[in-house]
Amino acid sequence: MKYHFIGIGGIGMSALAMHLASEGNQVNGSNYEENERVDYLRSKGVSVFIGHSYENLESPDIVVRTTAIKQGNPELVKAISKSIPTIYRMELLKSLLSRNTSLCVTGTDGKTTTTAMVSKILVDSGRDPTVFLGGINPLLNDGNYRKGNGITVTELDESDGFFASFKPDYAIITNVRGDHLEHYGNSFDNLKVHFRYFSRGVRKLLVTNADDPVSERIFKGSLTFGRDRG
């Protein structure tokens, strides 16, 4: 398959691009500026254009975008005009997670650190996880990505409501605080509804923060962790 990523230099997009390339797919993309992830992708053989242009889009089978890419983006306009399927980053991530046993780490704070810690435990215990991280960590082979043959572990961004549709086997919710409310009608209650909906889709085990009063109220029957209570 041929994939084109619009905004390939982002943390989440670059990890997905590396994963697809590691599976033998043809992957390229564009980014509005040079950055460390762009350089790293190029070192792995992924072609990256700087700037968004109609000419950047050749003949991919699928175009991957983020919610930050506006409808007038020339590459998106061309993809639509050529009837090339376009998917959001989170849709691609959800599809990849469905192939394997999955563990999602979400919540308002501490997602990246928690994901890295869980990944380190799994690596050291011989579980060989595939990891998608929302930051750079030297414990991972590629900074924000690790290819493995075991469970898939991902940091799951709650900045828009799409995360609530994920149905992982295992999940950790670090805490729930009123952040990114502009994507939830400026309503903390609406954000809490999305977290509750996500929690009900967890297939095997949900782990939540016993020290977080919001989590204590909205997640019932979960395994808990905490400094004062666990």
Active site residues: 111-112, 155
H helical segments located in the chain: 11-22, 36-43, 74-81, 89-97, 111-124, 188-200, 213-218
User: Any bridge partners for residue 63, and if so which?
Assistant: 4, 86
Q: CA torsion, points 103, 90, 67, 12, in degrees to nearest 10? A: 60
Amino acid found at 127: R
Can you tell me the distance from the alpha carbon of 155 to that of 134, in angstroms, rounded to the nearest whole number?
6
Q: In which residue are the tokens 């799409």 written?
A: 162
Give the sheet arrangement for strand 205-209, strand by strand.
Answer: 145-146, 130-132, 152-155, 102-106, 170-173, 205-209, 223-225
Quote the longest CA-to-CA distance of the chain: 57
